[in-house]
Structure 1
Amino acid sequence: MTGFDRSERLIWAGRGAAYAGSFARLCAYPVPQLLDAAEVGPGVRMLDVGTGPGTVAAAGCARGARVVAVDAEPSMVDLAGPAVPEADVRVAVLPELPFGDAEFDAVVGNFVLNHVGRPRAALAELRRVVRPDGWIALTIWAAPPAPGQALIGRAIQAAGAVRPPHLPAGLAPDEDFPRDESGLTGLMESTGLREVACETLRWDHRADAEEWWSGPASGVAFGGQMVQSQTPRTRAEIKRHFDLFSAEFAGPEGVLTLPHAALLARARR
């Protein structure tokens, strides 16, 4: 396990409910396109990696797929299991999955590849468990981030927040890759996947300011850990800047319209 992976386990420990109440609705947007890309339909043996509260697993089951779903964080599995009783939901951590070779017809991962310290090894593992000619479909956040995605980070930076020791600067240089269409395509091709295709999805996420702030305020994700690790004075400054910058996205009734962008890629084993 890399230092990045250890940090991710700390970041997400016990935060399933906080994520479900804040960012889960945002991350649900690409799910129909993700399942289409993996050609998920009736009878398809589907693996959902990084299921979170079970959004993708539930959508796969609704299409008639036979779904197995995994997540590295037990509090996510505690949510997904009861939410999607027709799926087999369990704890498992990339890049070592407890499945045999070629066990699935399709493998999907919604915003999971950005949470692993060894993305090439993770992709190689997904390739191992999908059958020959089966599809792998993935989403990751694009970089540079769209304005809505950058809002919380802008507030953190403007407040002069200091990165805590348990948050690494990022992936090791030999593991990182450009978060654009060509970068993700190249990463997937480097693991032996073929017929790789990648597109950029853009959408406006609408949420009130308190819902959007509840994620970082509860320590969710990297930004939440940055917020919670600061002194009370700096946390107050982050919130002040968050409120200030949020006004740029606020509509007449105070609802924020937050532009986001993600990459959706698929490839065949």
Structure 2
Amino acid sequence: MTVFDKSERLIWAGQGAAYAGSFAKLCAYAVPQLLDAAEVGPGSRVLDVGTGPGTVAAAACARGATVTAVDAEPTMVELAMQAAPAADVRVAALPRLPFTDGEFDAVVANFVLNHVGRPKMALAELRRVVRPNGWIALTIWAVPPAAGQTLIGRAIQAAGAVRPPHLPAGLAPDDDFPRDDSGLTGLMDAAGLSEAVCETLRWDHHASADEWWSGPASGVAFGGQLVQSQTPRIRAEIKRHFDLFSAEFAGEDGLLRLPHAALLARARR
């Protein structure tokens, strides 16, 4: 386990409910396209890696698939069990999964690869557990990010927040890859996958300012941990800038309209 992986475990510890009430709705947008890309349908044996609160697992079950779902965080697993009672949900994490070679017809990972320290190794493990010619489909956030993705980060930067030592700067240079179409398909090729293709998903996420702020205020994800680690004065400044910048995205109904962009890729074993 890398330093990055260890930090991710700490960042997400106990955050299941807070994530479900904030950013989970955002990540749910890509689920139908993700399952389509993996050709998930009735009778498919599907592994959902990094299931979070079980959104993907529940949607795959609704398609008639036989679903196994894993997550590294126990509070996420508890929520996933409730969301997808027909699925086999358990605690497990990349880069080592407790399954036999070729056990699944399809493997999906919704916004998971951005949370692992060695993405190529993680993809190789996904390749191991899918059957020959089976599909692996995944999503990650695109770089450069869309305007809505930068709102919280802009507020943090404008307030002069300082990164605490327990939050790593990012992946080791040898493990990182460009977060664009060619970078992601190239990573899949390097992991031994074939027929890799990638597309960009773009959408406006609608949320109230209070809902969107609840994530970082509760310490969810890297940004939330960064917010919580600041002094009370800096935290207040972050919130002030968040309120100021949020006005740029406000709609007539009072909700924020936050543009987002993600990469959706698939490849075969």
Is the TM value for this pair above 0.5? Answer: yes
Q: What is the alpha-carbon distance in structure 2 between the residues aligned to residue 251 and residue 192 of structure 1?
A: 45
In the alignment, the residues of structure 2 paired with residue 58 and residue 216 of structure 1 have an alpha-carbon distance, to the nearest angstrom, of: 26
Q: Distance in 2 between matches of 1:16 and 1:225?
A: 14
Structure 2 counterpart of 1:130, which letter?
Answer: V
Tell me which residue corresponds to 1:201: 201
1:140 aligns with 2:152: no
* Deviation sequence 1:115-147 (CA, Å, 0-9, x none): 000101000000000000000000000011110
CA displacement, residues 2-56 of structure 1 (integer Å, 9 cap, x when unaligned): 0000000000000000000000000000100000000000000000000000000
Q: Which residue of 2 aligns with 1:15?
A: 15
The corresponding residue for 1:86 is 86
Q: Which residue of 2 aligns with 1:52?
A: 52
Report the CA distance between 1:58 and its aligned residue. Answer: 0.3
Please state if 1:114 is matched with 2:103.
Answer: no
Cα distance in structure 2, aligned partners of 1:252 and 1:98: 49
**Deviation, structure 1 residue 253:** 3.1
- The equivalent residue for 1:149 is 149
> Counterpart in 2 of 1:247?
247
Q: CA deviation at 1:254?
A: 2.0
Counterpart code for 1:83: A
Please give the secondary structure, in 2, of the residue aligned with 1:28: helix
1:182-261 aligned at under 5 Å gives the runs: 182-261=182-261
Give me the whole-angstrom Cα distance separating, in 1, the residues matched to 2:264 and 2:65.
21
SS at match of 1:40: coil
The code of the aligned residue for 2:245 comes to: F
1:68 paired residue number = 68
In structure 1, distance between residues paired with 2:137 and 2:102: 16
Deviation at 1:107, TM superposition (A): 0.1
Give, in whole Å, the separation in 2 of the partners of 1:102 and 1:61.
20
Calculate percent identity across the aligned residue pairs.
Answer: 84
Structure 1, unmatched stretches of 5+, are none
Spell out, residue by residue over 1:143-195, the C-alpha distance to the aligned partner (whole angstroms, 9 max, x if none): 11110011000000000000011100000000000000010010000011000
Instruction: Report the count of equivalent residues.
Output: 269
1:67-98: CA deviations, max 9, x gaps?
Answer: 00000111100111122110000000100000
Amino acid at match of 1:3: V
Report the counterpart of residue 2 of structure 2 in structure 1.
2
C-alpha displacement of 1:252: 2.0
**In structure 2, what is the equivalent of residue 24 of structure 1?**
24
Amino acid at match of 1:168: P
The AA in structure 1 aligned to 2:146 is A
Matched with 2:130 is 130
1:235 Cα offset (Å): 0.1
* TM-score, length basis structure 2: 0.99
- Give the superposed CA RMSD: 0.5
Task: Give 1:43's aligned residue.
Answer: 43
What is the distance in 2 between the residues matched to 1:80 and 1:59?
11
